[in-house]
Structures are given as structure tokens and as C-alpha cells.
Structure 1
Amino acid sequence: MYQAHQIVTTRAASVLTLNGIRHHYGARATVDGLHLSLAAGAICCLLGPSGCGKTTVLRCIAGFERVREGDIRIDDAVISSPVRHVAPEHRRIGMVFQDYALFPHLDVERNVAFGLRGAADDRERVRQLLDTVGLTAVAQRYPHELSGGQQQRVALARALAPRPRLLLLD
């Protein structure tokens, strides 16, 4: 379980702030009083043994889990607290899951484009990202036709496609 740790990555203005967050699954505490401050452009790693709450912290930040106490802020706006919960799709946070969570019925190109709104420049954005992650040649393949590393790069490109202000890698 993540317990009352204070993690400060910089003294610059924070893009992400966790103020004493607590989370429980039933009666079991999974995060207990975590404080974290992360500046734009900074990289932060949560380290700990299996089952200690690292994924739960990321899921709280992304909006897939609710905090019991404390609050989570992005650019000083509260996005999660016991009384306020901004839906994940309104947080502008990209997340790459441990299992990648690719859609098996969509090819690589459509997996990457999934979170986009269908604007005219979306096809160009997908093309640029596929080029960046080195998957242009496999754009028409399906997840089951890719190696694990290729699947991971598809998941990364999909998380980056909508230009999130924060990227979480589990």
C-alpha cells in the first residue's frame, strides 16, 4: 500500500498534484495519504512491490477509480475528490495499460485513431504517430498479428493521439 509519502519532483508550477489521496477496495486500503507534485515536462516513477497500489494511483489520476479522501488537481483545477469527480474522457489524460487494452476488431490505424474526434487533420495525426513509433508498415494489421513490442507501441500512439496534457504508463 502507498502510505503518506511526500513526493516533490520540482518547485516549478505543478501540472499534477495529489493532496493526501486515500483509496480503498472495500475495507482494504490501497493508497493511504499520498502527496505528489509534478511539474510540466517532468518524469515521475512510482516504485514498489507488486500489489502496493501503483496501478491504483494511476487509475485514480486517470479517473477510473474514485478517491476516498484528498484531491487530485491538474493545473490547480480539482479533477477528483470525495465530492467531485471529472469523468476520464474530460481529463485529457492518456494512459497506456499494462495489457495495452487494444481493440482486437480494429486494425492498428483505427486503434490509434480511436480517441480522436474525426476532424480533418486526424488522419495526418495518426500517420505522424505511426511514423514516430515505427509502425507505418503495419497500419492495416490487427493486434493479434503484431509482436508484443508492436502492440505496446500501438497503445502508446493511441494514448498520445489526442494530445493529452498528462501521459500515464502502467
Structure 2
Amino acid sequence: MSGLFFIRSAGEGDLAAVSKIIEACEPRAPRSVQNLKADLKRPDSEFVVADDGRQLGGMGYAAMAKEETGVVILHRLHVSGNLTGQGIGRDIFAELETCFPDAKRMRVEVEKADEASQGFFTSLGFAEIGWAKQGSDRPHDAEVAILEKSLVF
């Protein structure tokens, strides 16, 4: 049984555990601790974890788009497999969507074959705006759905 998870900013001490969460959720696109350190230090970004005091149950990372004003890119949102379905992903997203006051839209890329993730993001208010042959965050060739959500309330 898991405890109550709190969403907080990630620190360097979290990165080994975060790397394991990413590798378990997305084995074809792992992130090294060194790469995660660069993400952690990137300006105009937010890197959060779900922590119950004993373990990290998930992570999220988003950053303002460099090429497009007013758009924040949700690069990663992962929940440890044994903890899915408990609202941790929704809590991580709820934190991230409030961290970018200048953003008008949030965008995420999801592999077309991953219907569960597409359904999750649709339930959060995202809508498909297109698709691409290869996602910007993926080192392998993948067909991805591009989803967006308005952040103007």
C-alpha cells in the first residue's frame, strides 16, 4: 500500500530514482542522471516529483517552448507502474499546469500506439491537433499524436 504523495520540486538527490522511473515507463528513451541534471537547471522549466517520504511515485517535466511564444511543452509525465490509477499523474499535471503564468497552451506528444496515455491526456482536457512521424523527445522513429490544452482560464 502506498502513502499520501506530495508534489514537490525535484532536486539532484532525486535524479537516480527519476531515471529508474523513466526507464521503467519508457525503456526505449531512458534519461541518464547527467541529462536529467541539465533538465533540472534549464531556465523556464519545472521538474517535479511525487514523494510520500519513502519513495518517489512519479515525475513530471515541462518547459517553455524555445521556438513558440506562449507554449509550454510537457516533456515527461510518468508514474511508477505499481502506483498508476491512484491520481498521482493528475496531481503532477495539476502542479505543472499552474507553473507557467505566461503560457497560453500546453503541448504533449504521445506515441499513437499508446492509447492509455492518449486517453489520460484527453481526460485532462487535451485535444489532438496533429501528428508527426518522429517525436522531438524520442531517439527512435515513432509516430506520435500531438495534443494541446488551453491554459487560458
TM above 0.5, one fold? Answer: no
Which structure is larger by alpha-carbon Rg, 1 or 2?
1
Give the TM-score of the pair, scaled to structure 1.
0.28
Say which structure is richer in strand.
2
What is the TM-score with the length of structure 2 in the denominator? 0.29
